[in-house]
Structure 1
Amino acid sequence: MANSKGNRRRFGSVRQLKSGRWQARYRDPLTGQIRPAEETYETKTDAEIALSVIEASIVTDEWSDPDAGKVVFGGFADRWLKERDLEDTTRERYEGVLRLHIQPTFGARLVSDITPPRVRTWRTRLLEVGVGEPTVVKAYQLLRSIMTTAVDDGMVKRNPCRIKGADTYDVPERPVLSVPEVYAVAAAIQPQWRALVLLTAFTTLRFGELAALRRRDVDLAARVLWVRRNQAELNSGRLITKAPKSRAGFRPVAFPAMVVPELERHLELHAADGPDGGFFVGPRGGRLRRSNFRDDWTAAKAKAGVSADAHFHDLRHTGNTLASQNGASTRELMTRMGHSTTRAALIYQHMTSDRDRAIADRMGEAVRRALKETDTPLD
């Protein structure tokens, strides 16, 4: 196949093929076998330059096996996911994104064939066919993470996911319910969910944190509840109770005195029995699920004249806004919300202090003023 024209060097050799093009060959540093460069060259000089570049990459430990990336992406991605220590909900989300939005395009390709232009084309097509921007961002982030491992494993030299700004998106501003709207919805909803609406608005707990509350987690005398666990629901319907994602998630949160009578009534009529009984339970006494009250929430919004676009989660924005408007610093607000801070000493901060109760008291006074101005009844 090749003629006898060649040139042996201290490192590797170059030779001219019958086609007239030049080939560079060198000893594989991993196997010791002679292997050709990935491409051929028009001139002998070009082949020698390529050989020098290969030699330099081996000397500086930057050389990677050109065949390492000749692995089908689909299998590599599946192994990547299997080898990760992920929470059940995160694993389920990744599996869905991978199956629906990444594998159809890249599953049958080699890892080495996933190039920046192909990544750009893939992302553009997802947006063109109507996949929501948040989902596209999550798909891009997942693909980038998988390809980062491919780089670390020496399968490719650079991560092909290099689109500036593709890993973020502008979160649309969610509606903030006014205090009268919160009370209007609470009055319109089924009695067993009234305390759920008020606590969500004035403690800003996440739904999963509320669903995992037990009787012993709520101290009415101190006006504080303790977040110790979180409930998550998989697509299969299975419920999982787990620890909060970070130490910042373990926290006490104070609430205004004005909601204490409502919580007392709830404990008497709707909570499960015993100190470990669920503070909020489903209609038949089982564990609380979103589906338990979704229809009631929709009906209550309509009856109260609240925007149909308002989500239950938007009640958190009401509480966060109230706390911010009534003196909560950024650090205090992040602690109430269960967000991690940059200081380890503040991550598990005991917020049962007078300062936190003062925040709750100011929130309560703001609620009273808003209700008085609109003649909205407290009960």
Structure 2
Amino acid sequence: MATITPYETRAGRRYRVRYRKPDGKQTDKRGFTTKRDAQMFLNSVEVDKSQGTYIDPTAGRTRVRDLWPIYEAGVHGLKPTTLYSKEIAWRLRVQPAFGEREVSSIRPSEVMTWVSGMIGEGSSRETIAAATTVLRGIFDIAVADRLVPASPMGAVRLPKKRRKRKVYLTHQDVKRLAEASKYPEFVYTLAYCGLRWGEAAGLKVGDVDVKRRRLHLRDNVTEVGGKSWQEGTLKNHEARSVAIPPFLMTMYRPMLLRPEGDRMFVTETGNVMLNSRSTKSWKSQNKSEGWFTRAKKAAGLEITPHDLRHTAASLSVSSGANVKVVQRMLGHKSAGMTLDTYAELWDDDLDTVATSLDRARSEAI
């Protein structure tokens, strides 16, 4: 049974509330200056217990670092690159700021100040998003386990995502780039089949359907932390098939003489065509720049590898492909996503519609 008892301190009389927690264990809270305050607290405890919303005041003493292993185990099934980014976000951003703090001590204003600090120091939106996602996930666990009544992450707002300028190459541009590179077949595959780098790197000889001129995409190669690579599923976990232009099929024929289990594209030393080892240095100007950087400079182009995927979309639309065809080629979840990403490619359709409407009106009147 709950009780309220007075006790004397140097500062005067205070009141202590004794009550039982939902698990039957007895606890107390002291320091109330009036019996009325003590009674109000006890009433709120009883209401919370009856509604199943009681939070043990001592539970909030759990430190953020103690919840990280639980969060990490919960996201274990994600792709290796995603897991790596979360581990980096924890180690470099979340742990230094909040790792030693008790979960109940962290206020929304502190989290907002932390995010503002990352923005101020020039951190990318992706970096900030990764860090806040980890901290949000940890507090989701804290709320679910009734360590705290609510998460302090509700007021957090990320900086707006800036749309990067897309570069669309012409057929002539792609030809110059391919001819200037060590791996022209790889360049043409990205630019005419719309594959992501990891999708192309994951292709095996057996994935080429010669009769139907199709690439069957099943695997994806991703680099983890610049130290190792892993083969996994495609981005949306759904295999897809992509048509191969006849000219590219001709270029593939010598490669198809190898065993079906061999990779289609490998480096000069026979290694997997990893993005960073081949192209990461396109962001730098050092002497060890990758083959893609050297090729684009020789071709006089200012592009990134992903711009070849944009180019595939552009060349397909200009050749008459509709949005559903482009969606299937790129592996987007929906045609809406394709339109949102490449809406400008269909601008000419507005003129076509207007002309068609004008013709239909003239014929009808």
Q: Which amino acid aligns with 1:140?
A: T
Decide which of 127, 132, 136 is 2:128's aligned counterpart: 136
RMSD: 2.5
SS of residue in 1 equivalent to 2:261: coil
Cα 1:272–1:70 change in 2 (3 A) is farther
Decide which of 298, 303, 309 is 1:303's aligned counterpart: 298
Cα 1:13–1:168 change in 2 (3 A) is farther
Q: Which residue of 1 aligns with 2:180?
A: 188
Q: Which residue of 2 aligns with 1:251?
A: 240
Q: What is the CA deviation profile of residues 177-214 of structure 1, one whole-angstrom value per residue up to 9, with x for unaligned ones?
A: 33322222112112xx1111111011111111111111
Q: What is the CA deviation profile of residues 299-351 of structure 1, one whole-angstrom value per residue up to 9, with x for unaligned ones?
A: 111111111xx211221111123334555555443332223359xxxxxxxxx
Q: What's the offset of the Cα at 1:175? A: 2.7
Q: What's the offset of the Cα at 1:11? A: 4.7
Q: Which residue of 2 aligns with 1:340?
A: 333
Decide which of 66, 71, 91 is 1:80's aligned counterpart: 71
Q: Which amino acid aligns with 2:154?
A: R
Distance in 2, matches of 1:336 and 1:211, equals 17
Q: What's the offset of the Cα at 1:65? A: 1.3
Cα 1:167–1:161 change in 2 (3 A) is farther
Q: Which residue of 2 aligns with 1:154?
A: 146
Cα 1:156–1:178 change in 2 (3 A) is farther
Decide which of 34, 42, 46 is 1:43's aligned counterpart: 34
Q: Which residue of 2 aligns with 1:57?
A: 48
Decide which of 229, 249, 256 is 1:260's aligned counterpart: 249
Distance in 2, matches of 1:282 and 1:203, equals 20
Q: Which residue of 1 aligns with 2:212?
A: 222
Distance in 2, matches of 1:154 and 1:195, equals 57
Distance in 2, matches of 1:253 and 1:237, equals 31
Distance in 1, matches of 2:324 and 2:19, equals 60
Residues 199, 221 of structure 2: 8 Å contact kept:
yes
Distance in 1, matches of 2:201 and 2:192, equals 16
SS of residue in 2 equivalent to 1:69: helix
Question: 42-51 vs 205-214, which deviates more?
Answer: 42-51
What are structure 2's unaligned runs of at least 5 residues? 280-289, 336-365
Structure 2-normalised TM-score? 0.80
SS of residue in 1 equivalent to 2:100: coil
Q: Which residue of 2 aligns with 1:314?
A: 307
Distance in 1, matches of 2:99 and 2:257, equals 49
Structure 1-normalised TM-score? 0.77
Cα 1:12–1:258 change in 2 (3 A) is farther
Distance in 2, matches of 1:257 and 1:335, equals 19
Q: What is the CA deviation profile of residues 102-151 of structure 1, one whole-angstrom value per residue up to 9, with x for unaligned ones?
A: 11111111122222111111111112222222201111112111211111
Residues 16, 22 of structure 1: 8 Å contact kept:
yes
Q: Which residue of 2 aligns with 1:276?
A: 261
What are structure 1's unaligned runs of at least 5 residues? 1-9, 343-379
Residues 204, 261 of structure 2: 8 Å contact kept:
yes
Q: Which residue of 1 aligns with 2:117?
A: 125
Question: 179-188 vs 333-342, which deviates more?
Answer: 333-342
Distance in 1, matches of 2:2 and 2:39, equals 10
Q: Which residue of 2 aligns with 1:107?
A: 99
SS of residue in 1 equivalent to 2:271: coil
Q: What's the offset of the Cα at 1:235? A: 1.9
Q: Which amino acid aligns with 1:204?
A: G
